[in-house]
Structure formats: C-alpha cells, structure tokens
Structure 1
Amino acid sequence: MLPILDWGCAMYAAVDCLSETATVLLFDPNAMTDDGAAAWFVDAGSLAEWLETWLAGTGWYREDADEYEDVAEPTPWETAASRIAE
C-alpha cells in the first residue's frame, strides 16, 4: 500500500500497488479489529477512477454527499485479511 492522502484523524487513502488497476483503499482505524482487516475499505476500483471523482468533487467525502443517492460509499476490502497476513 502506498499512502497518497492523509484524510486526518489517522485515516488514509492508499494505492494497492499489487492491483493491476491500482485500486484505491481507505484505511479507517475507527473500524479496527484485532487483525486490522476491518479497517480497510475499497474507495475506488482504480486510481484513475479515484482521481476523476476527486477532481469532480463528487466523492463520499463531499460535505453534502448524504443528499445524493449516487455517491458511492467505500466498501469493505474483502481480501484485506489475506493481504495483511502476507
């Protein structure tokens, strides 16, 4: 994981450099469990997608995001536990 953005409050956006599409992940320590896997979320399927959302200002982090139905929330990173174990 390559951190690319510090959201504050110990939350980070990071690029999965082993992913062919450079998946962007969100690390949120508030969701931490014993193994740490629950603290990782998929923010975007690719770095290009994440950058487009960031530049357009249409991501989950936007102040009025709760007013829009089409704003995608980060989803749990299903392979976090196995990747952390590596």
Structure 2
Amino acid sequence: MVAAVDCLSEDAAVLLFEPNAIRDQDLSGAWFVDAGSLAEWLEVWLSGTGWYEDGAVAGVFGMPLWADAASRLQSKAHPGAPA
C-alpha cells in the first residue's frame, strides 16, 4: 500500500493505493480515500485511532473508492488528453 495526498483537491485528500485491488490493469479501482483532508488524516494519526494502528478494527475495504481516479489517471497516462 502507498499513501498519497491529492494536491489538486482543495482539502488535500489523503488517498491510499492498494495494488491488490487492481483488476484487468485498471488502476482506478485500486485508489481509496483514506481521509477527506490532510488535516483530518493528521488528527486521526495524532490521536492514534487510524485503521493502520495495532488492534484497529476497520480496514481498507471500508474506504470509498477515489471518484476522480479514472479521470486523473487517464489524463496522466495520455498527455494532451482532456482532464
């Protein structure tokens, strides 16, 4: 898994890339929203209540897919394509 910050979003959403979720070479189904903003993610991390903490119950599969993944990935994969 790899975490990333969506610097193009106003709130800097924190995303999680889970390569085990790739299907038929489609990367868009492997990007999840870990937190709606970087501030939200930092608060959870500082409080020690994140899904990644030892003993946490929730996991990646409870996270929503990143809705912008397909359009963002396509525009990066094909320079000049409409975003």
- TM-score class, shorter-chain normalisation, is 0.7 to 0.9
The root-mean-square deviation of aligned C-alpha atoms, in Å, is: 1.3
List alignment gaps of at least 5 residues for structure 1.
1-10
Identify, as 1 or 2, the structure richer in helix: 2
TM-score (normalizing by structure 2): 0.78
**Structure 2 CA distance, aligned partners of 1:55 and 1:13?**
16
Q: State percent identity of aligned pairs.
A: 63
Q: How many pairs were matched up?
A: 71
Work out which of the two has the higher radius of gyration on C-alpha atoms and give 1 or 2. Answer: 2
TM-score (normalizing by structure 1): 0.75
Identify, as 1 or 2, the structure richer in strand: 1
**Structure 2 CA distance, aligned partners of 1:74 and 1:61?**
12
Matches within 5 A, 1:45-84: 45-66=36-57, 73-84=62-73
Report the equivalent of 2:8.
18
Give the counterpart letter for 1:76 in structure 2: L
